[in-house]
Amino acid sequence: MAIIVNLDVVMAKKKMSLTELSERLGISMTNLSLLKTGKVKGVRFTTLEALCRALDCKPGDILDIE
């Protein structure tokens, strides 16, 4: 089983760019890019919460399991 990060899909649905999301959250574009591509080993709940608030979604919209 693997965790799938659907951040790019949610961002596309909300028509939000990586730059805009980075500015809203105060998180570097590099870190968001790594998260978007699934190249991270973990994510803090505070970061996940901030992403959900900015994108008006739920954690399950961003993270999935294969």
Cβ within 8 Å of residue 31, ≥6 positions away: none
| Averaged pLDDT for residues 40-50 | 95
| Averaged pLDDT for residues 7-17 | 96
Q: Which domains does the chain have, with CATH numbers?
A: 3-65 (1.10.260.40)
Give yes or no for residue 61 having a pLDDT over 90: yes
Provide the token pair at 44: 């803090």
- Which residues is 4 bridged to in the sheet? 64
Q: What is the mean pLDDT of the chain?
A: 95
What pLDDT does residue 1 have? 83
pTM of the model: 0.90
What pLDDT does residue 62 have? 97
